[in-house]
Amino acid sequence: MTIDFNLNALLSYLKENQLQPELQKETNQIFILYHIQNFEVPVFFLLNKESKLLQIVAYLPYQLPDKTLDNTARLLHLLNKELDMPGFGIDEQNKFMFYRAVVPCLDGNIEKRLFNMYLGTTRIACDTFMHAIGIVVSGTSTVDALMKEQHKKDDV
């Protein structure tokens, strides 16, 4: 089963699945909101007709201060290294973080099972790691402290 590779078809599919999509008129992009750990996480869908790729981009609800940029970047790198489907990134210029999944769309179609897998993975990655990212971004903890804490749990 597939979805046609266009905004209207994707919008309809997301509505059918009760994800309450909206069209952002300024950018002509569809987005949904995930409610994760008392935060709203906007998830945007970007269709690239030239490359036949669909990007799913979840923007994490934290501003990235300069003082924790290096430590946060290190954490995201370590997470990506361990994830089967890496996708965490930073936009240094605009001071935000995101998780991005890229879905190949062959023959002008979005494969529903593949799309659902990538969308689910996006939610799981955000849900699993948002707390750790939040405490590093805020400066409450560091990557080294989190790693020490994890090693203590592993030893028990």
Q: Give dist(CA 143, CA 51) in Å, integer.
A: 36
Determine whether 152 is exposed, middle or buried from the number of CB atoms within 10 Å of its CB (0-12, 13-18, 19+): exposed
Interior/surface letters 124-147, b for 16+ CB within 10 angstroms, e for the rest: ebbeebbebbbbbbeeebbbeebe
How high is the pLDDT of residue 28? 86
How high is the pLDDT of residue 16? 97
Q: Give dist(CA 38, CA 105) in Å, integer.
A: 33
CB 108 within 8 A of CB 52: yes
Q: What is the mean pLDDT of residues 12-35?
A: 95
Nearest to 55 by CA among 127, 129, 122: 122
CATH C-level class of 2-155: alpha beta
- Residue found under tokens 């707390």: 131
Where in the chain are the domains?
A: 2-155
Q: Is the pLDDT of residue 155 over 80?
A: no
How high is the pLDDT of residue 156? 65
Q: Give dist(CA 110, CA 93) in Å, integer.
A: 32
How does pLDDT run across 94-152, given as a tens digit for each residue?
A: 999 999 999 999 888 999 999 999 999 999 999 999 999 999 999 999 999 998 888 77
Q: Is the pLDDT of residue 63 over 70?
A: yes
| Both structure tokens of 45 | 């869908």
Of all helices (H) and strands (E), which one includes residue 43? strand 39-48
